[in-house]
Amino acid sequence: MTNMKKMTMIPLLASFILGSTLWSGGFTANAAAAATATTSTTAPTSTTTTSDKSENPQTNHLPNIKILATGGTIAGSSSVNTDTTGYKAGALGVETLINAVPEMKSIANVSGEQVVNVGSPDVNNEILLKLAKRTNELLARDDVDGIVITHGTDTLEETAYFLNLVIKSDKPVVVVGSMRPATAISADGPFNLYNAVKVAGASASKGQGVLVLLNDRIGAARYITKTNTTAVDTFKSVEQGYLGAVVGDQVYYYNKSTHKHTTSSVFDISNLTQLPQVDILYEYQNNGRYLYDAAVAAGAKGIVVAGSGNGSLSKTSSEGAEAAGKKGVIIARSSRVGSGVVSPSTKDAASNFVSTDSLNPQKARILLMLALTQTHDVNQIQSFFNEY
């Protein structure tokens, strides 16, 4: 039986055996069987739980992969197995996720940690810092070969790009989510998780920057974005393409990120406990300048504008943005369009404006926050946008 068929069968078998029509019955049963395990993966044929080499030396040649769980739909649950919209995100723990995919045991020594368990709209700067610090700590260890981070898809690209800028290792870091909750028929989470572990354990993944894995595609954190509200094939790299794919148990790479990341990044969060406030304002017809004034009054040190077209601002927005710029606030011109580069303007620097290259507004916010931890110089910040 192919792995694909096996994965399809697992929920059906679990439902059948437990007399339930839900995946959650299978998860619960597996979790109970593994109740004595302090770490994550429980092989059906072995009582040995996976753990760090230092605590329980592995004699096999498999990579040691740590799964850091943060919640999201991949850990989502509903009482109805056809429910793909009204479920609760971040309902299941990391042990349950790992125990549901015992096949991972044949490709890696997997262990898990729950960092938080939230829907990704609730991932905030505090969580970003906590996750990044823990990832750096783990990657510095000889007994960790790669990290997989489970995450909600709504803001996954922001977390992935943040990590891409602040992780100090060339070991693989793979961010994974799913579009259907764990309880759904044809849940995409288990296979995505399996593939993410495979990618994190592949030597070809080293030095690629932080990766995003969904739907068998490997994306670069810098380029990937969510393009569809509900579809399983939502993550796309619109202009730049994917880096690679997982096909038939093999990891294939075709492209490389040309932007600075991880070990070539200057951004260091090891001593930071907070990040500067950066807000995003959306450009639209008939807008006023009051949102700019409000953002500045609320303490914004930077404002990203989701500009129209090639990062354009209306006259009224420009008034607000220029007034903010005079107070030292950096204005980053991005675009609401969804793809393409916002080209630089010779007028930018004089108004404390920068252009964001091909970064969408939500990723431009991540870079601007980090840039402002280093400098308030508009030209230096423009260089960051050119390079990262």
The reply to whether 179 sits near ligand ASP by the rule CB under 6 A is: yes
**Cβ proximity to ligand ASP, 120 vs 169, nearer residue:** 120
Q: CB-wise, 156 or 370, nearer to ligand ASP?
A: 156
Q: According to the binding rule CB under 6 A, does residue 283 interact with ligand ASP?
A: no
| Count of residues in contact with ligand ASP, rule CB under 6 A | 10
Q: Which of 199, 190, 182, 188 minimizes the C-alpha distance to 232?
A: 188
Q: How far is the CB of 174 from ligand ASP (least distance, A)?
A: 16
CA distance 182 to 159: 21
Distance separating alpha carbons of residues 78 and 90, to the nearest angstrom: 11
The answer to whether residue 73 forms part of the interface with ligand ASP (CB under 6 A) is yes
Q: Residue 83's CB: how many other CB atoms inside 10 A?
A: 16
Q: Which of 25, 72, 102, 325 binds ligand ASP (CB under 6 A)?
A: 72
Rounded to the nearest 10 degrees, how much is the dihedral formed by the CA atoms of 217, 220, 222, 223? Answer: -40
Q: Closest approach of Cβ 72 to ligand ASP, in Å?
A: 4
Site track for ligand ASP across 78-97, x = CB under 6 A: -----------x--------
Residue 177 is a binding residue for ligand ASP (CB under 6 A): yes
Q: Which is nearer to ligand ASP, 67 or 329 (CB)?
A: 67
Decide the pairing of beta strands 109-118 and 217-220. unpaired
Q: Which of 71, 311 has the CB closer to ligand ASP? A: 71
- Residue 278 has which token pair? 């950066």
Burial 329-344 (b: 16+ CB within 10 A, else e): bbbbbbbbeeeeebeb
Question: What span, in angstroms and rounded, lies between the C-alpha atoms of 222 and 231?
Answer: 21
In the list 30, 120, 169, 265, the residue contacting ligand ASP (rule: CB under 6 A) is 120
Cβ 32 vs Cβ 25: under 8 Å: no
Select the residue whose beta carbon is closest to ligand ASP and give its number.
152
Place of tokens 């898990």: 112
Residue 153 binds ligand ASP, judged by CB under 6 A: yes
| Cα-based angle 149, 155, 158 (whole degrees, multiple of 5) | 80
Minimum gap (Å) between residue 300 Cβ and ligand ASP: 25
Smallest distance from ligand ASP to CB 102, Å: 23
Query: Which range of residues in 135-143, 147-155, 159-167, 212-220 is near ligand ASP by CB under 6 A?
Result: 147-155
Is position 154 an interface residue for ligand ASP (rule: CB under 6 A)? Answer: yes
Cβ closer to ligand ASP: 115 or 251?
115
From 129, 348, 153, select the one nearest 356 (Cα to Cα).
348
Residue whose token pair is 């510095």: 140
How distant, in Å, are the alpha carbons of 326, 368, 374 from that of 380? Answer: 17, 11, 9
Active site residue 82: no
Joined together, the tokens standing for residue 276 give 């500067």
Q: Which stretch binds ligand ASP (CB under 6 A): 95-103, 146-154, 194-202, 214-222?
A: 146-154
Read off the DSSP letter of residue 328: T
> Catalytic pick from 41, 42, 50, 73?
73
Contact in structure between 98 and 40 (CB atoms under 8 Å)? yes
State in angstroms the smallest separation of the CB of 184 from ligand ASP. Answer: 12
Residues that bind ligand ASP (CB under 6 A): 72-73, 89, 119-120, 152-154, 177, 179
Active site residues: 73
